Amino acid sequence: MNIRKIVTIIDEVLIEGGRAVEPVARVAVVAAVIDNPWSGQGFVENLGPGIDDNASSLGELLAPRVVAALGVTPEAYGKAAIVGLNGEIEHGSGLIHTLKFGDHFRNAANATTLLPAVEKRAAAGTVFDIPLKHITDATIRSHHQSFEVRLPDAPHPDEIVIALAAAAQGRPQQRLASLTTEQ
């Protein structure tokens, strides 16, 4: 696996709605820009070997980095795969929609729910929103959020951006009633 760069983003919201956020709402993203393992091969029927060669290593690389960047055990998490224009969306999906990748983040976050995801094919500099959900209960509304990411020089046409996002809490100043109030 060739990694061109790793980008870490830390976002801290101190004021929301004109009021101080206590504790500060913190989100971290770690993204790896990698060569697309299927680049230049035409249509690849069996993505399995490329997934086996790369997915676990990516999860092992990114999961501890995003948790360390966050600085606390995450309460919400998500993932993304943005495939350069010469690739297929399935290339990114193959890398992130496997337990070989996701279990590294689930274990690092002490999580039990499935990781929400975004995947798309796009040119360098595209904006993408990583969806986040609670790590143990996807119905907890306060933790339904998304985080906008843009890497100005990635992905190149034969690259994939693989990213993980973690939040230390739910949305700043969240005040929606729980889902059970509507059931």
- For the structural domain made of 3-182, what CATH number should be given? 3.30.1330.110
pLDDT at 180 > cutoff 70: no
Confidence of residue 182 (pLDDT cuts 50, 70, 90): low
Contacts of 180 (CB under 8 A, 6+ apart): none
Q: Do 130 and 79 form a contact (C-beta atoms < 8 A)?
A: yes
Which residue has 């059970």 as its token pair? 180
Residues 12-38 have pLDDT tens digits of 999 999 999 999 999 999 999 999 999
Half-sphere exposure of 166 (CA within 13 A, CB side): 26
Domain ranges for the chain, please list them. Answer: 3-182
Taking the whole predicted model, whether its pTM rises above 0.75 is answered as: yes
Cα distances from 62 to residues 5, 20, 172, 177, in angstroms, run: 12, 31, 25, 34
Band (pLDDT 50/70/90 cuts) for residue 161 is: very high
Q: What is the pLDDT of residue 174?
A: 87
* pLDDT surpassing 80 at residue 149: yes
